[in-house]
Amino acid sequence: MLKKIFSIKILGGIFFVFFCGFVFYKGAFLIDKLLKDEESQNEESMAPMVKGESDEKVLPSEENLLNKHSFPVASYLPVKKAQASELDVFRAHSSVILDADSGTILHYENGKEERQIASLTKIMTAVLVVEKIKDLDREAVTIDEEAVYADGTKIGCPSSGNCIGTRLKVGEVISARALLKAMLMNSANDSAIALSKHIGGTQENFVEMMNDKAKELGLKNTNFCTASGLEIDGRESECYSSAYDIARIAAFSMKYKVIWDTFKIRDTVVYSMDGKISHDIMNTNRLLDEMPECLGTKTGFTPLAGKSLMLAAHDSTKKHKIIAVVLNDPYMWEDIKEMTHWAFNSYVWQ
């Protein structure tokens, strides 16, 4: 009887030891899992928050540099100063500020909302022009009726319906560089149409090339429908982009010096290839003289898109650049100046 009791106690002791070991193992496993979960949550909470339509985390850190097609690896990254104020561009429907070198977002309000962008489209048109045409001065473009009778701003018409200069003529032969100047300086729709048809054969083919480029750059909220930015009647909903995507296109375009050299020209005269026809071109950029740090702007307006503007600027060292974009902002010039000053006063590059 004693032996039986003794055996039971031994078995009970062995069971107790195994039970304690099991509890210890499970407890350690659960604690380790909880610690890892907490670390993961902490890492997520440290990811950059972007103020958008639903204030979701649109851009975690690994996406903040965007993709290799849009931005190189930057030597310096902008860091917000502790005492920096918040920026609210309340008069704009959408607004974004990007560091042009890294793609880091400095400011973001409704940045990915899709809407019409009018002539901001021409930034992408310019990218394709300089990529497809190797010699802008020698490339001869023949003007057709579709270009001559384009709506809105044209060569010789610094604003819609205000035609005070010499317009393009059907059959006129002019260089691609002259048309690029008119398109970027004066937002000439006839020039955008002429260039698009010269490169693509038809404007539709060129637009397909534009959308292919948008996909290559990873733009998720953009669909172009014309080279000029004019909406197509009855298909207006097919013509859209976002402040964020436009900023990315502008930053990408900085790899092409000719585009930004053109943005900075105040006024010029261009000639037909035979030298017989001259056209005066004035820059629509109001800030060229007012803001020494301004590298260039691109305006856009249609009744549907509202007033929109892209601006690039450098800081006092001229080493760091930003891209600012406002869409549908009746006070676009005033607001984009404020955005630029806020960015350089609120961030330091390290």
Q: Which residues are catalytic?
A: 119, 122, 187
- The stretches of the chain forming alpha helices (DSSP H) are 2-46, 61-64, 122-132, 145-148, 176-185, 189-200, 203-216, 243-253, 257-263, 332-346
Tokens of 52: 């958008």
Residue with tokens 């590298």: 295
Is residue 110 within 8 Å of 232, Cβ to Cβ? no
Write the DSSP symbol of residue 275: S
Tokens at 158, concatenated: 């610094």
Distant-in-sequence, close-in-space partners of 47: CB < 8 Å, separation ≥ 6: 57, 60, 61
Q: Are strands 267-271 and 278-282 parallel, antiparallel or unpaired?
A: antiparallel
**Is there a contact between 148 and 168 (Cβ–Cβ < 8 Å)?**
yes
Could you give the CA distance from residue 79 to residue 119 in angstroms, rounded to a whole number? 32
